[in-house]
Structure 1
Amino acid sequence: MALIRLARNLGTGRAKNVAIALAGRRAISFHDSDDRPHTDKLLRQSRVLALRGLRGDAGLNWG
């Protein structure tokens, strides 16, 4: 876990993009202060990420 403190408020989207750029990890999970995630959120996400041949929708513009 890491704490990244920005010099000014960039908004949620831009702040998350900075975190992704700095993380250097294969998987990242965000938990906002107003979220009430499912108890098994990370387990469910990791199971999906482990699937072979998984691709994002073309509309997402993922490389």
Structure 2
Amino acid sequence: MSLALVSAEFLTAIAMIILLIGVPLFVIAIIAVVTGYLQHDAEQYLDELENDAPTREEK
């Protein structure tokens, strides 16, 4: 019940600050995870292509 001792304007201001900081950080984290996954997947795909490609001696 300690929230009843705090004014509504103060809680609104705190909520706005949390949203202004938290939402962009969450979006940046999601973008970083997706980018890391795509980079890892691309590296694996290129490694597979390099290993499966015939060399000059095999041609």
Task: Tell me if both proteins adopt one fold, taking TM over 0.5 as the criterion.
Answer: no
Structure number with larger C-alpha Rg: 2
User: TM-score range with shorter-chain normalisation?
Assistant: under 0.3
The structure where helix makes up a greater share of residues is 2
TM-score, structure 2 as length reference: 0.27
TM-score, structure 1 as length reference: 0.26
Greater length-normalized contact order (CA 8 Å, ≥ 6 residues apart): 1
